[in-house]
A and B are shown apart, each in its own frame.
Chain A
Amino acid sequence: MPDTPDIADRRDAVCVIGAGASGLAAIKNLREHGFEVDCYERETSVGGAWNWRHDRSPVYAGTHLISSRPLTEFPDFPMPDTWPDYPDHRQVLSYLERYSRHFDLERDVWFGTQVVSVVPVGDGRWDVTTQSTGGGSSRVQRYAGVVVANGHNWAPLKPKIPGDFSGQLIHSAKFKDPAQLRKRKVLVIGGGNTGCDIAVEAAQQASTVWHSTRRGYWYAPKYVLGRPADQVNDRMLKLGLPLRLRQWLYRRALGLTTGDLTRYGVPEPDHRPYESHPIVNSQLPYYLGHGRITPVPDVTSLDGSFAVLADGRRIEPELVITATGYRPRFEFLAPELLDIGEDGRPDLHLHAFARQHPTLAVVGLVQADFGLFPLAHWQSVAVARWLRLRVTDPERATAVQQKESTRPLASWSRRRVVPTPRHWFEVDHTDYLRAVEGLLREMEPRP
């Protein structure tokens, strides 16, 4: 028999879904704008993706940041300045735990509680149904706003490769420990950061490593000119160097270090630098050069103990890891609420604000050439300020909404990227932050 719980009205309180980096930033910034907050987290602790004790964490033992520390920390809560340029996942988790404790955020988090449905009930209000993670009875509460911060790196995107495979086939989400690779013949599929990290890990552990990518990429080193590469890039942005010049410099910098990787059999990139989500990996070219990683083209089918490659070659791995990424999932929301199309992509203003529902927002649903935490921070400041403005000055809120609807998409959404599905929410951090700042200025509290 289904539960028919009473609906508890939480009045002006806002519901936050998820206590990863984005959810924690949302709690903090909503509170600073005077909101009461209830946050629901299906796991038993904070940290989301960075908490590798969580079943769905995509993080593996060797994970280090790819964005350097100053470009990754929250803008109002720095990481310790004694930490390395690229902290590892344990440090990142301890940072999020400290952020949470410092601002006493856990006070408002209901752990082990999953949000199973979010339904609009008119007047901008929402009925949120939650259930304890182990099952059990559900509960419905009514909120004045909902901020979705459920992350987009936990639902594996598994490729459909025809044929049967008699060896072991896993998605990278199930790769945790280098011991899984030890002394085995390993095929890694996917040229994102995960695929490249695992290929490098395998180069140190496995007996044979094949790395299959369906296109060529620009593998950025972690350091150039004696500094973390993203800091050098931002210096160029600060100086206002045009994209074409930065692309030229990028090619020059690679030319002076790793050189042309096609000599190892890696395909030529089919796009210019900065036209795909950055892959930051200094060690991949190194192990290519040492013959520890054999680049191979796309896998077209699996056949018993063999993987068949696009060039007709057959290889015989014992373990195949598909590092083909993740996809966003919002199973608790009807797709039309976020204007989710056939392709499964939400269509949100600034990748954050639901177009038809002014009290529904998503935080953390962006990919950038930058750390996610600062972006999630400013998104949640904008969401909090927006929800506040709706209460204090509805007329001005309407005016802001009208003005925002004229903000050109091209000013914040990156257009020039390889047209593959995963790039739909790629943004350029400077353009994006400028757009968010524009919105914040329109909502500036009046003295």
Chain B
Amino acid sequence: MKSELLRFQDWTDPVRPVEREVVSMTEETDAKLPPLLFVPGLGHGAWAFAEHWLPATAARGFPAHALTPRPGGDLRAHAHDVVQVAASLPRQAVLVGHGAGALVVAYAMGRYPARAAVLAAPVMDGWPALGAALRANPFGTLPAIFGGRLRLNRKQLFGPGLPEERATAILDRLDARPRRELVTHAPAPRPAGDPPVLVVGSPDDRVVPRKSLDRTATRYGGAPLLFPGMGHDLPLDVAWAEPIEAILDWLGKELGH
């Protein structure tokens, strides 16, 4: 059995420091509430949260931060970036990961006792996600398998309600270069400190199959909270408000407010 205590890699091969991009909205928030740290998925950056979810979070009093994990980093480096930023916040943070960012959060939880965690449309098991992507968008996905760019399409990311122009603008901004690790990684470590974990997603997500969503939720001891009609890109889809409000409601309950 692999030791959880003997962390030779952490000890002898520490991840190198980098400048990290963090977008924060803390004005008029309540310093007594735990800060939320958002971690974007493939191709997205902190900007994807700066649009809607950060202001919505701050409006409910929670200090809100979003991080762009280092470009070109592997899963370990990304989890390191999340833990570094979380530990730099004044209070124990709530980690919120979207898509492949949820996998990063799941790894970060092994190194940092989050106050709570939210896995939104989590790309946790790579093979089913790869299968789904090949079905929904074979020509956008294939090049990525050979190390090229992943071209996500509108059907995968958004529900039908998002205006065409807006969808195109977002798709143009994406720069997704998935690493093989996304499929081959080991199961996420056991979370430190046993935080409450919420899984949210959509039954109509063409990236994360429903089964995979259920599996992730079961692993963290719950059932997924579902937002039918939405695409994979919960933070940017037209109904973005519903999931974030539900997440903050859940958090309020967990914190005993």
Is the beta-carbon distance between A437 and B17 smaller than 8 angstroms? no
Tell me which of A28, A80, A102, A430 has the highest count of chain B C-beta atoms within 10 A of its own C-beta: A102
| Interface residue B92 (Cβ < 8 Å from any Cβ of A) | yes
Is the beta-carbon distance between B3 and A76 smaller than 8 angstroms? no
CA distance A75 to B9 in the complex (A): 12
Is the beta-carbon distance between B4 and A437 smaller than 8 angstroms? yes
Is the beta-carbon distance between B15 and A81 smaller than 8 angstroms? yes
Give the chain B neighbours of A80 by CB distance below 8 A. 84, 87-88
Is the beta-carbon distance between A32 and B91 smaller than 8 angstroms? no
Please pick, from A104, A235, A440, the residue contacting B92 in the complex, using a CB distance under 8 A.
Answer: A104
Known contacts A101-B90, A102-B87, A436-B5; A78/B111 CB under 8 A: yes
User: Could you mark each residue 1-23 of chain B with 1 if its beta carbon is under 8 Å from any beta carbon of chain A, else 0?
Assistant: 00111111011101111000000
| Interface residue B246 (Cβ < 8 Å from any Cβ of A) | no
Is the beta-carbon distance between A104 and B111 smaller than 8 angstroms? no
Please pick, from A28, A78, A82, A437, the residue contacting B3 in the complex, using a CB distance under 8 A.
Answer: A437
Segment 1-59 of B: residues with Cβ below 8 Å from A = 3-8, 10-12, 14-17
Give the chain A neighbours of B16 by CB distance below 8 A. 81
**CB nearest to B1 among chain A residues:** A441
CA distance A333 to B130 in the complex (A): 62
Interface size on B, residues (CB 8 A): 28
User: Could you mark each residue 396-422 of chain A with 1 if its beta carbon is under 8 Å from any beta carbon of chain B, else 0?
Assistant: 000000000000000000000000000
**CB nearest to A230 among chain B residues:** B11
Known contacts A32-B194, A76-B113, A76-B192; A81/B17 CB under 8 A: yes
Segment 98-120 of B: residues with Cβ below 8 Å from A = 111-113
| Interface residue B255 (Cβ < 8 Å from any Cβ of A) | no
Tell me which of B5, B14, B80, B194 has the highest count of chain A C-beta atoms within 10 A of its own C-beta: B5
- B45–chain A nearest beta-carbon distance, Å: 20
| Interface residue A254 (Cβ < 8 Å from any Cβ of B) | no
- A84–chain B nearest beta-carbon distance, Å: 11
**CB nearest to B195 among chain A residues:** A32
- A357–chain B nearest beta-carbon distance, Å: 26
Known contacts A32-B193, A430-B6, A437-B3; A70/B11 CB under 8 A: yes
Give the chain B neighbours of A104 by CB distance below 8 A. 91-92
- B6–chain A nearest beta-carbon distance, Å: 6
- B73–chain A nearest beta-carbon distance, Å: 13
Give the chain A neighbours of B194 by CB distance below 8 A. 32
CA distance A157 to B101 in the complex (A): 53
| Interface residue B83 (Cβ < 8 Å from any Cβ of A) | yes
| Interface residue B170 (Cβ < 8 Å from any Cβ of A) | no
| Interface residue A433 (Cβ < 8 Å from any Cβ of B) | yes
Give the chain A neighbours of B84 by CB distance below 8 A. 78, 80-81
Is the beta-carbon distance between B87 and A231 smaller than 8 angstroms? no
**CB nearest to A75 among chain B residues:** B7
Give the chain B neighbours of A101 by CB distance below 8 A. 90-91
- B250–chain A nearest beta-carbon distance, Å: 20
| Interface residue B145 (Cβ < 8 Å from any Cβ of A) | no
| Interface residue A442 (Cβ < 8 Å from any Cβ of B) | no
* Residues in A lying within 8 Å of B, measured CB to CB: 28, 32, 69-71, 75-78, 80-82, 98, 101-104, 227, 231-232, 234-235, 237-238, 378, 430, 433-434, 436-437, 440
A-B contact pairs, 13 of them (CB 8 A): A69-B14, A70-B14, A75-B10, A75-B111, A81-B14, A101-B90, A227-B12, A232-B12, A235-B8, A430-B6, A433-B6, A437-B4, A437-B6
